[in-house]
Every structure is written in structure tokens, then in C-alpha cells.
Amino acid sequence: MSSYDVIVIGAGSVGVPAAMSLAEMGVKTLVLDKNPSPGQGENKKAIGGIRATHSDPGKILTCLMSLEVFSTWQKRHGDNIEWLKGGYTFPVYRETEEKALKSILPIQRKYGLNIDFVSPEKIQEVVPGINMEGLRGGTFSPDDGSASPLRAVNAFYRRAKELDADFRFKEEVEQIVVREGKVQGVKARGGTYSAPVVVDAAGPFSKTVCETAGVHIPVTPDSHEAAITEPVKSFFTTMVVDLRPGPDSKNYYFYQNSLGQIVFCITPEPLIVGNDRRETSLFLPQVGARMVRLLPRLKNLRVRRMWRGLYPMTPDGSPLVGWNTQVQGLLHATGMCGQGFMLGPGVGQVVARMITGKTTEQDKVILQGFDPYRKFGGGEALK
């Protein structure tokens, strides 16, 4: 039986950066994943947006750490992860969204975020060709950006490997082994691995995995579709988020990546609960019509590919990060609610400090908001 200090379940948006941070701190780490390589679960379904401009302090602080990792990665390590500092833009056409966005500016500025409610002319400058009819302005945060989920997770994987983290792929975890209330390791298809600490970074499958340890966590997957166009000459770089609801949908968002492709997604209403990843015929007409009304110059673009991924949702839309109180040594780092890519590096750092007993005052703020045993109330003001 192979022995480790920590076993991480899941080699995705959270598990890989967590392993990297643990390895940087000299912790003997094993990562297990049922897929053949890193990021082959929900990570590769992410569209790549990264922002710190949330309304929840825990998410703000976590994503500030993540932004530091993404924005400096190529300079520090040499890998091109397609980081693009294009910012996030929330155009506003109704008083409802204007009030909502302005109401959260104080907390965003409290944490030092570079964001403001700007004029319609500024929005037009950032998003050339945007529909100006009824445009009231919007928020713009230039320090946010985007990166390639697969390039990033593989860069983090290579860094973790360089630091002696061990990865086993095509190795599905069948059971978290517990004896007398303490984690002993995990049983997988290929054998049993020993460790006093197991990190649950299994995303939408966390509930099933944790049930093998006799633990219930409130993570329920729902599905979201996305797509990407053929590449065209760059004409905007910001992530555009339209908060207005539409037919059978809530907000939608899109940006042009570093290769010139438009990547886009929509939030269905009601949410589609379950593990179904099959693409539908409803998505493209639904989101396409809304995008073209907002930015008419998109109308002649051809869509290259569509896909559907899973969000590991919690009752209030915020992550579950913290020690399990029933089973000693089980650490949850899951329930990212569709924001695992942007939260992952920051969460990974917090997890590593928790395990090594080096949490900071900032970590305590994050962990208070992400406490798996918190009272679930209303959701975040800006999701």
C-alpha cells in the first residue's frame, strides 16, 4: 500500500492547483482521477472567465489570489495559458440592474477592486458596436480577465509534477476509508492508498464520493451549455455579462479569447438539475438571439462547437471549503457553483495552508464564508 501525507480526489480546477500548492509546501501528495488526464471533467467545460469582482468577501479574496496566479504565470513559469487582461463589463439597460450593481460597489471597493460604474460612451469604447439604445452605462473592471482552462490546468499539473506531486489517472475512487472516525486513505479501482488527510475536490460527484465515508454534503449538479465560434480579428477583449432575464434563461455572457474566438454561455431558467451532458437544440437559438440584439456585429459569425458541462451547486451558490466535523482528516474543497476555474488557484492555496497549519487572517474570512456547516440563506448578490 502506497502512503502519502494527503490524497486529493479530483484532478480538475480545484484539485490540481491544490496539489500544486501542497507540493510547493513540501507535502507528499497524491491526486486520483477517473479521467485519463488533468482537467478532463468539468474543467475543460469552463469558458475561461476570471474575475475578483464578486459581492461576497470570500470570493473576492479568493479570486484576488487566483488573478495573481493567472496574470503572472507566463512571466514566472514560461507557460502560455492564454491569459488576457480584458476586464469584465456589465452593460445596463434597466434601473433594476443599475441599482443592483451600484449597491455592491462599496464592498467591492472596500477590498481594493478596480471597478466603477461608467458611462454609455465608455461601455461602447470597451465593447465596440454594442446596442446603444437605452444603454444607461454599466460596470467595468479592467483587472479581471480570461485564460484557457485546459492550458492552465496542464501548466499547474506540470508544476505540481516538478515538485514531486504524484498523479494517478484512470483511477476512480470507490471509497474514502474511515476507521474510528478518522480518515485512513482511499480505496480505488487500482488499489488502496493510505493518507491521514483526504481532500474532496470531486466537484459534481462530491456528494457520491463523500457518501462512501458516511458523510452527506449539499452538492447537487446542474447543467449549462456553452459554445465557441470560428476565430475572427480581435475587436473586443472584455467579458460581457448581460444580467437581464430572457425566455427560459437568466443572464448570459461572452468574450473574445486570445485566438479571436467568441466563447459564450447562458444560465437556464429553471436550472436543469442532473448529470446530463448531452447538447441540446434549444441553446444556440436562445443565446444567439440575445447576443445579436446586444452586439449586432456578431450575427455573421459561425459557431464551431457546442458543449454542456456540470455546475456543482450548493444551496446558496457559494463553495464548501473546510474540515468535516464527522470524519477527522476529510477536507472539503468543492461546490464551486460553476466558478471553479476562477476560484481554483486561490482555494488551492487556502487548502494547503489549512493542512499545514498556516492559515492567515485573510483565510479565516474566506473560510467563514465557505464553511460547509454554515446556515444556508440567500444567494450572493452578484453570481
Q: List, by residue range, all CATH 3.50.50.60 domains of the chain.
A: 2-65+149-219+316-370
Beta sheet of 320-323, edge-to-edge order = 166-168, 29-32, 6-9, 197-200, 330-334, 320-323
Query: With contact defined as beta carbons under 8 Å apart, do 93 and 151 qualify?
Result: no
Query: With contact defined as beta carbons under 8 Å apart, do 104 and 113 qualify?
Result: no
The 10 Å Cβ neighbour count of residue 179 is 8
Asked if residue 381 has pLDDT above 80, the reply is no
Q: Would you list the DSSP string of 153-201?
A: HHHHHHHHHHTT-EEE-S--EEEEEEETTEEEEEEETTEEEE-SEEEE-
Q: What's the rounded Cα separation, in Å, for the pair 288 and 265?
A: 10
The domain at 2-65+149-219+316-370 falls in which architecture? Answer: 3-Layer(bba) Sandwich (3.50)
Q: What's the rounded Cα separation, in Å, for the pair 11 and 8?
A: 8
Q: How confident is the model at residue 377 (pLDDT cuts 50, 70, 90)?
A: confident
Exposure b/e, 216-244, CB count within 10 A at least 16 = b: ebebbbbbbbbbbbeebeeebbbbbbbbb
Asked if residue 244 has pLDDT above 70, the reply is yes
Q: What's the rounded Cα separation, in Å, for the pair 266 and 246?
A: 10
Asked if residue 379 has pLDDT above 80, the reply is no
> What is the mean predicted confidence (pLDDT) over 164-169?
98
Q: Which of 286-300, 315-329, 369-383 has the lowest mean pLDDT?
A: 369-383
Let me know if 163 is exposed, middle or buried by CB neighbors in 10 A (0-12, 13-18, 19+). Answer: middle
Q: What's the rounded Cα separation, in Å, for the pair 327 and 182?
A: 5
Task: Retrieve residue 54's grid coordinates.
Answer: 464578486
Q: Would you list the DSSP string of 267-314?
A: EESS-EESS-----SSHHHHHHHHHHHH-GGGTTPPEEEEEEEEEEE-
> What is the mean predicted confidence (pLDDT) over 56-82?
98
Task: Retrieve residue 43's grid coordinates.
Answer: 474543467
Backbone angles phi, psi at 261, to 5 degrees: -90, 145
> What is the mean predicted confidence (pLDDT) over 10-39?
99
Q: Would you list the DSSP string of 194-226?
A: E-SEEEE--GGGHHHHHHTTT-----EEEEEEE
HSE-CB at 324 with a 13 A cutoff on CA atoms is: 27
Query: Residue 242 forms beta bridges with which residues?
Result: 252
> What is the mean predicted confidence (pLDDT) over 348-375?
98
Assign domain 85-144+221-311 to a CATH class: alpha beta
Rounded to the nearest integer, the mean pLDDT of the chain is 97
Q: List, by residue range, all CATH 3.30.9.10 domains of the chain.
A: 85-144+221-311
| pLDDT tens digits, one per residue of 81-120 | 999 999 999 999 999 999 999 999 999 999 999 999 999 9
Asked if residue 383 has pLDDT above 60, the reply is no
DSSP 3-state of 98 = helix
> What is the mean predicted confidence (pLDDT) over 299-321?
97
Asked if residue 205 has pLDDT above 70, the reply is yes
Q: How confident is the model at residue 1 (pLDDT cuts 50, 70, 90)?
A: confident
Asked if residue 284 has pLDDT above 60, the reply is yes
Query: With contact defined as beta carbons under 8 Å apart, do 346 and 52 qualify?
Result: no
